[in-house]
């Protein structure tokens, strides 16, 4: 009896394991290994020149490439911080300030816009900000401006777009941990005379650290990897790194160079995530949970 049950369980294991294994192996592991292989091949696709580092060397030799890279990483950090500064007070308002009923409504209002495609939200910002857009129309109509000015296609509009499209992914994890913060801790600190800033710094932020870290990591990864927002709202002369990858793959048709760029993007995001975990002394296992 026992024996027959055991063999059946192994059979069930194979049934579950095979599709999952095929999925991860054929669609994820092998493609990435192939990408890694390509990144070490010469520029000519059919060339049998063997392993070369020229794709990676080209990245460091050509300022246009590495400047885009530095810009992408730098802006991603800035945008993650801006999102954090907005998300903390909003999360606090939703979890601690309003009553239970309003909380449910606000949660709904926070989540619903994020079901709408990024493309549409970016389009909305374009209609609002561009030279023939809503703001210019209103300002010129009121006589505050003589000629419309272009407010789209610069770094500020880029930041607005990326903040708007990624806010939720910071808000949800922070709301999750803030919910578990005991109100009496804040009351006690306040009764003992702590100022608001001190309460934030000494009680709320340390308590929310896991949520802040996982939110920051998700947002950072999403921002560095975003394509639509920089392509539609960013300046014409300043590319995002994902656009460099697109240009190499689709326009220049230099896949090996593009593959090298892809791996550099993976590398920088992993390093920054790892660094931020090190600095704040967190473990990846706790954060991903």
Partner 1 sequence: MIRTLPNTRTYKIGFTGFVIFYFIFLFIPLVIVCILAFNDSLFPSLPWYGFTLDWFFGKGPDKIGVFHHPMNLKAIYTSLKVALGVCIFSTIVGTCAAFLFDQEEFRFKKFFYILMITPMVVPGVILGISILSFANSLGIFLEKNMGIDLRILSPGLLLVVLGQSTFITTFVALVVIARLKKFDRGLEEAAYNLGANRLEVIWFITLRYLRPAIIGGAVVAFLLSFENFNTTLFLIGSKPTLPIALFAQIRDGGSPVVNAVSFLLIVGMSIFALANLYFSHKTEKQ
Name residues contacting partner 1, limited to 197-216 (CB under 8 A).
199
What is the rounded CA–CA span in Å between residue 45 and residue 61? 21
Tell me which of 83, 88, 152, 167 binds partner 1, using CB under 8 A: 167
* Sign of the CA dihedral running 184, 189, 195, 201: negative
- C-beta of 191: minimal distance to partner 1 in Å? 9
Residues 57-116 that bind partner 1 (CB under 8 A): 86, 89-90, 93, 96-97, 99, 108-113, 115-116
- C-beta of 260: minimal distance to partner 1 in Å? 11
Select 167 or 213, whichever has its Cβ closest to partner 1: 167
CB 240 within 8 A of CB 230: yes
Which range binds partner 1 by CB under 8 A, 59-67, 70-78, 131-139, 172-180?
131-139
Per the listing, tokens 């994902």 go with: 242
Tell me which of 2, 15, 192, 279 binds partner 1, using CB under 8 A: 15
Residues across the chain: 289
Select 134 or 271, whichever has its Cβ closest to partner 1: 134
- Does 231 engage in binding with partner 1 (CB under 8 A)? yes
Q: How far are the Cα atoms of 9, 21, 30 from residue 6, in angstroms, in the given order?
A: 5, 22, 33
Task: Give me the phi and psi of 149, to 5 degrees please.
Answer: -110, 150
- C-beta of 237: minimal distance to partner 1 in Å? 17
Select 11 or 281, whichever has its Cβ closest to partner 1: 11
Tell me which of 42, 176, 225, 235 binds partner 1, using CB under 8 A: 225
What is the rounded CA–CA span in Å between residue 255 and residue 232? 24
What is the rounded CA–CA span in Å between residue 192 and residue 70? 46
- Does 159 engage in binding with partner 1 (CB under 8 A)? no
Helix boundaries (H) for the chain: 2-24, 30-39, 54-61, 63-92, 100-111, 118-129, 134-141, 155-166, 168-179, 183-191, 196-199, 205-207, 209-224, 228-233, 241-246, 255-280, 284-288
Which range binds partner 1 by CB under 8 A, 55-63, 71-79, 184-192, 274-282?
184-192
Tell me which of 47, 57, 85, 138 binds partner 1, using CB under 8 A: 138
CB atoms within 10 A of CB 46: 7
Tell me which of 57, 64, 70, 134 binds partner 1, using CB under 8 A: 134
């Amino acid at each position: 009896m026992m024996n027959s049950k055991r063999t059946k369980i192994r059979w069930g294991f194979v049934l579950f394991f095979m599709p999952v294994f095929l999925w991860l192996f054929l669609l994820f592991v092998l493609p990435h290994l192939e990408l890694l292989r390509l990144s070490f091949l010469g520029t000519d696709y059919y060339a049998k020149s063997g392993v070369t580092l020229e794709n990676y060397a080209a990245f460091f030799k050509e300022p246009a490439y590495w400047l885009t890279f530095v810009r992408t990483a730098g802006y991603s950090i800035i945008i993650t911080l801006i999102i954090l500064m907005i998300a903390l007070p909003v999360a606090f308002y939703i979890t601690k300030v309003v009553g239970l009923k309003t909380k449910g409504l606000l949660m709904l209002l926070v989540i619903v816009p994020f079901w709408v495609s990024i493309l549409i939200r970016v389009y909305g910002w374009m209609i609002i900000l561009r030279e023939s857009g809503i703001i210019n129309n209103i300002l010129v109509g009121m006589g505050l401006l003589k000629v419309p000015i272009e407010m789209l296609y610069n770094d500020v509009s880029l930041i607005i777009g990326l903040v708007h499209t990624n806010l939720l992914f910071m808000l949800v994890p922070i709301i999750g941990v803030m919910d578990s913060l005991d109100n009496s801790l804040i009351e006690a600190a306040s009764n003992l005379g702590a100022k608001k800033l001190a309460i934030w710094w000494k009680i709320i932020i340390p308590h929310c650290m896991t949520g802040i870290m996982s939110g920051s990591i998700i947002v950072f990864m999403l921002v560095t990897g975003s394509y639509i927002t920089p392509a539609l709202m960013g300046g014409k002369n300043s590319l995002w790194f994902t656009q460099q990858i697109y240009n190499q793959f689709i326009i220049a048709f230099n896949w090996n160079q593009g593959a090298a760029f892809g791996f550099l993007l993976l590398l920088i995001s992993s390093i920054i995530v790892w660094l931020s975990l090190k600095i704040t002394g967190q473990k990846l296992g706790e954060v991903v949970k």
